[in-house]
Amino acid sequence: MDTQSKYFRLRREDIAYFKFIIESYEGMAVVRTRDPHEAIVELMVAPGWEKDLEEVLGGLRKEIPIEPMT
């Protein structure tokens, strides 16, 4: 399976909530904390889930600050 990685900066206190919400959508993506001090997370998105992920991220952005990284 070829996953696509996306990186985001969050507040440290939001990492667990972010991970819980994303991974509650079984098979959509896996969350890794790449740097806990800088609060950088990696999302490994399963093929075919990109649109769904964007919808979930849109909802999460209404609750917590999520900064995409390039």
Q: How many CA atoms lie within 13 A of 23 on its CB side?
A: 12
**Domain at 4-69, CATH class:** alpha beta
Q: φ and ψ at 26, to 5 degrees? A: -50, 120
Instruction: Give me the pLDDT at residue 63, please.
Output: 97
The 10s digit of each residue's pLDDT in 26-57 is: 999 999 999 999 999 999 999 999 999 999 99
pTM for the whole structure = 0.90
Distance CA 63, CA 33 (A): 19
Mean pLDDT of the chain: 95
Would you place residue 23 in the very low, low, confident or very high pLDDT band (cuts 50, 70, 90)? very high
Per-residue pLDDT at 1 exceeds 80: no
